[in-house]
Amino acid sequence: MAGCAELFEKLVWSTNVDHGAFQNLFLSNEQTADAIADDRVQGVALTGSPKAGRAVAAEAAAVLTKSTLELGGNDAFIVLKSADVDQAVKDGAVSRLRNAGQVCTSAKRFIVHEAVADEFIAKMTAVFESQVLGDPMADATTLAPLSSKAAQTTLQQQVDTAIANGAKVLVPGGAVTDQPGNGFKPVLLTNLLPDNPMYDTELFGPVGQIQVVRSTEEALSIANHSQYGLAGAVYAGTTAEAQEVAEKLETGQIFLNQPSNGYPELPFGGVKNSGYGREMSDLALYEFANQKNDCSRY
């Protein structure tokens, strides 16, 4: 991320924008707190974990500075019995495995109606098993390593905890320690029940979980039984059917018969422990704007 930020900074400066108009600061936690407290700072936007969100929101609130938070997600990907299973599998796999599964709006919980569950599981299992882990610059690679050793270690611990507490393994995988990088072979789990410590934990990497349900109502109940509400998707035979379900989901964004994603023209943000405020679209333009009324002619 730091490398991307530096490159973007250089691109901005190359357009002859004053350097002060865009400036990266790679700060420690203590330095960040000092920056937030500075009177010159008029707004704070964070992308990070709920833990980081609470800390930043508290610092901003202490000096009455407005903040927006885009935090974690445990997005539901609902597949109803009328859905096109092939399309759902294709989109769901891309959503879960893109960027090695390190995307806040990835499909993390596949909630599948029992009428199509066997087909969905068989086809999703095949996709997970077919991934080629390796150098991201190599043409044959379909899954790149994780961002850091810490990310690899944490994810492996989470998977181990889930399995130790009753989760069933559909596709075995995990940390790869005998190759360069912080590789992690895809893991597909099922039978994660509410008493499992990992039931509502964001697994930030190529780990998917499938939950089979008997009805649309049960799918909604499981989807909403989460501390998060960032994004999600509903797959059904018609857009109208998908929309009817989507309207009952507690999340900031929902996509119908397509995987969740980010688009500049659409507002991006969550509810519950996924944060508050919106990025992108016209709504984002007003998050840190002073909407001042001119009442001289009133």
Active site residues: 70, 104
CB 70 within 8 A of CB 279: yes
Nearest to 213 by CA among 240, 190, 233: 190
Q: How far apart are CA 152 and CA 146, in angstroms?
A: 6
Nearest to 105 by CA among 280, 232, 208: 232
**Which pair of structure tokens corresponds to residue 194?**
């509410």
Nearest to 67 by CA among 96, 44, 33, 35: 44
Where do we find the tokens 């994004």? 231
SS3 111: strand
Q: Which residues pair with 190 in a beta bridge?
A: 168, 210
**Which pair of structure tokens corresponds to residue 85?**
């299973």
CA angle (293 as vertex; 288, 297 as ends), nearest 5: 165
* Exposure on the CB side of residue 239, measured as CA atoms within 13 A: 3
